[in-house]
Amino acid sequence: MDLERVNSEQSALEAHLCTHCAQAIAPNEIIINQNQQAFCCHGCMSVHTLLLSNNLQDFYKYQESGINLRDRKATTKTNEKYAYMDSEAFIKEFTTLENGKLKIHFLLEGIHCMACVWLIERIPHLENFVTQASFNMGTNLASFTIDTGLEYSVSKLATTLDMLGYTPHPYDINSGKEGRLSNRKDILQIGVAASAMSNIMIYAISNYAGATKEYAQVFDAISLALCLPVILYSARPIYKSCISAFKLKTTSVDIPLAIAIVFGFILSTINFAKGTGPVYFDSITTLIFLILLSRYFVKMLTQKSMSTKGISSLFFNTGIKRIDEKGGAKQVYSSEIKLGDSIECSEDERIIFDCTLLSDSALILNTINTGESTPIVMHKGERIDAGAICIEDGIRLKVEEIGMKTKLGRNLAAIESNSISKNPATAWAQTISKFFTISILGLSAIVLIMGFIQGNITQAFESVLAILIVGCPCAFAIATPIVIATRINKLKSLGIFVKNEASLEELNNTQNIIFDKTGTLTKGNFEVISFKKFGDNNEASLLAIAYALESGVQHPIAFAIKKYAKDKLKGDTNVLAHDKAFIAGSGVGAIINNKKYFIGKTQNDKQQVGLYEEVGNNKELLALFRIEDSIREESKSLVNFLRNLAINIHLSTGDNSSKAIETAKELGIPDSQIHIEQNPHQKLELAKKLNNTTFIGDGDNDALAMVKANVSIAIGSRADIAMRSCDIYLANDDIALIAPLFRVARDVRKTLRRNITFAITYNIIGIGLALFHIITPLYAAILMPISSVTVLLSSLIPMLGLEKRILNLKEKN
């Protein structure tokens, strides 16, 4: 035997790690290239070869350990997949031309670490027509400049990106312009306020220190001038939300804030003109700066980039194979498709139009519309709704409805436009601040009217100003955003991303929690638990037959059987099946070696899959596979945890399976709270019907309910729409993180309540003193920051050891 070869194989096997993705390789899947490097798959090997041949091996230097490159979906047939990007309609819609340079932006999926950024910015090494590439980690947006002087092809660029493992979605840069400009405006407003504040301090402190008459006048004048841009420009968001609160006839913390700011400014200006009385230009500027800054932190930390905006374009802008008169298929851009066109769909492709089927039959997965996770067979002439996934090759369809007129389009539009109103929130802090706002405004009005009646207007004005400044709800306006921001940041480090900051408070009010079964409570991957053969066939040949039957079938159970067979056979699966026939909800039949075989459900036990040989009309059972989708270990402890919080647990699933009910029973969920065969609209109704619901799901078919529920949590990053329509998402597919999330929510509530108690006590005392003129506005202006500091400390001290409390002491709480 060739000793050298054995040795090299040995060393590769010992390493067990893929040279490219650094993941452990199953022994039978190892692939060795001519340099004796081991790979887990051909995809990894080809990317490695590509990088090496272009001197881009530095990629591995920047690669962080523990990053899984393998979950990048390397897609086959990519060459034609992006062909539509060369069409004129696409170029016109998605690129901009500047001085002979074409600019195109892609939203990239699958960015893991800095190595990815490095690689994307080295695209000009790979495609010479690309002159410049840059990537923004915050928005996942890559922009490429293409030299139109050279021969170029956008589809080639997209194919390269795809091959490297980054799925490109074309992005219309003009649609994102608004958000980017508003972000810049936020920064400018804060910058102007900061600049004014720091400059005003010089003069204000000089005055407090006792500057003499003329100097004091000059300093006040400078302060007024510096304060003006802050009042007129920086404070605009506060006025805006005050006005919109008036319009919507609700209250908001911004109402007393805006009044205090404007009123304080006017009074200070009058006092300045008169030459007597206190001026507050410094306090006003500082207040505005702190409020804007703390709000900006919250905005930055919440994942605004993952909003529901633009999800429909993610779905609808793609390449479609259109069938021309001669019967040939040609890839075109989806916007070129018209009603009545015939199209062809291939395996794993999402159908984006409402269609009728032209082929005799087709196997499709309609999870997004019906919630059912098993494929169904459609027959010629039947209607297929947009969103279904084709799981056979070469399916021909006639387009009946396009874009936003399709059912999927309408659902996406509803999600995008927020036209589904969320169940009303009942956050305690909001109620209190509402009450607080109203009482401060009422009190001010009374004092003012009293002043008019008594004829002592000046003193009444001074009292009102003191009330507004003392009562100015800084605890709400500054401390609340800081409490939320610090907690969100902590959650982020645990892999919990909060998109809607209000949901952290709202989570505490949860009375009902709805789990979507498929994948959330169970592991979602079926496994063959046992294999039993009957008769005297040998095991290997039976497994090879089973593998051949299931090959090409995109069903979780088929994957489980294929994996099991492949493992047992050590990859040696050389049996070919002919005349494959899919029988919906039952199984697959085919002819192998001139014998007819069938693999599928057994009659009495749904957890068993049988392999049969068909002889005439009889089926002879050859072997049984026992399949199980195991309950996640964490599910049980989570259910117990939630039950301790007195939350009702509901299960809602699209499947009609005894398995769902079994899962629920095993977890101890009562029958009345198990809802099976739920389509997306029924899920929505359920979320609407129950009070204070939290919806936990992971599929695209959950999106409508997610928008409706008080709080929605998406698990894992598999489903695009779910991730974009939720309030909170868990980046790791780890349901165990829900308990810490609830604990953080409790901590947020506790801290906010304490803050508010502090603030209210302080305010009541302060307002009382102000009413009886014991403290003047000057003392009020000094006391206010002291109260703010107290509240800040009270917000930040619980952060010490928070992580330990929420993760380690699981049993307490």
Partner 1 sequence: MEVIIVLVPIALLLGLGFLVIFIWATKSGQYDDLDTPSVRVLFEDSVNNNKKEEKL
Least distance CB 132 / partner 1 (angstroms)? 5
Question: Residue 218 or residue 232: which is nearer to partner 1 going by CB?
Answer: 218
Name the residue with tokens 């007024």.
224
- Between residues 121 and 720, which has the closer beta carbon with respect to partner 1? 121
Instruction: Write the single-letter amino acid at 713.
Output: I
Complex with partner 1: residue 198 or 808, whichever CB lies closer: 198
String of DSSP letters for 569-633: HTT------EEEEEETTTEEEEEETTEEEEEEE-SS-TTEEEEEEEETTEEEEEEEEEEE-PBPH
Query: Which residue, 347, 408, 292, 371, is CA-closest to 76?
Result: 347
Nearer to partner 1, 137 or 782 (CB): 137
Q: Please, which residue, 300 or 624, has the CB nearer to partner 1?
A: 300
Residues 6+ apart with CB under 8 A from 508: 745, 746, 748, 749
Q: Which residue has 């009728």 as its token pair? A: 356
Q: Least Å distance between CB 216 and partner 1?
A: 12
DSSP at 801? T
| C-beta closer to partner 1: residue 193 or 402 | 193
Helices (H), 209-253: 213-229, 236-247
State how far Cα 264 lies from the chain centre: 42
Q: For partner 1, which is the closer residue by CB, 202 or 243?
A: 202
Helix (H/G/I), strand (E/B), else coil: 254 = helix
The smaller minimum CB distance to partner 1, of residues 120 and 660, is found at 120
Nearer to partner 1, 188 or 797 (CB): 188
Residue type, 795: S
Minimum CB separation from partner 1 for residue 300, in Å? 9
CB of 112 to partner 1, least distance (A): 12
Nearest residue (CB) to partner 1, 201 versus 624:
201
**DSSP character for 364?**
E
- What the block records as the tokens of 321 is 């194979």
> Which residues neighbour 139 within 8 Å (Cβ) at sequence distance 6 or greater?
176, 305
Smallest gap from residue 497 Cβ to partner 1 (A): 15
The CB-of-480 to partner 1 minimum distance in angstroms stands at: 24
Least separation, in Å, of the C-beta of 106 and partner 1? 14
In the complex, minimum distance from the CB of residue 58 to partner 1, in angstroms, rounded to a whole number: 7
b/e map 697-710, b = 16+ CB within 10 Å: bbbbbbbbbbbbbb
Q: Which is nearer to partner 1, 79 or 134 (CB)?
A: 134
3-state secondary structure labels for all residues of 94-163: HEEEECCEEEEEEEEECCCCHHHHHHHCCHHHHCCCEEEEEEECCCCEEEEEEECCCCCCHHHHHHHHHH
Q: Are 515 and 649 in contact (CB under 8 A)?
A: yes
Rounded to the nearest whole angstrom, what is the least distance from the CB of residue 68 to partner 1 in the complex?
A: 19
Give the count of beta carbons closer than 10 Å to the beta carbon of residue 276: 7
- Residues forming the site for partner 1 (CB under 8 A): 55, 58, 62, 114, 117-118, 121-122, 124-125, 132-139, 143, 173, 180, 183-184, 187-188, 191-192, 195, 198-199, 202, 215, 218, 222
Nearer CB in complex with partner 1: 69/557: 69
Least Å distance, CB 201 to partner 1, is 11
Tokens encoding 433: 């601040």
Tell me how far apart the alpha carbons of residues 226 and 279 are, in angstroms, rounded to a whole number. Answer: 13
3-state SS, one letter per residue, for 401-459: ECHHHCHHHHHHHHHHCCCCCCCCCCCHHHHHHHHHHHHHHHHHHHHHHHHHHHCCHHH
Tell me the three-class secondary structure of 153-219, residue by residue.
Answer: CHHHHHHHHHHHCCEEEEECHHHHHHHHHHHHHHHHHHHHHHHHHHHHHHHHHHHHCCCCHHHHHHH
* Closest separation in Å from C-beta 146 to partner 1: 13
Closest separation in Å from C-beta 136 to partner 1: 4
AA letter at 288: I
Classify residue 145 as exposed, middle or buried by CB count within 10 Å of its CB (0-12, 13-18, 19+).
middle
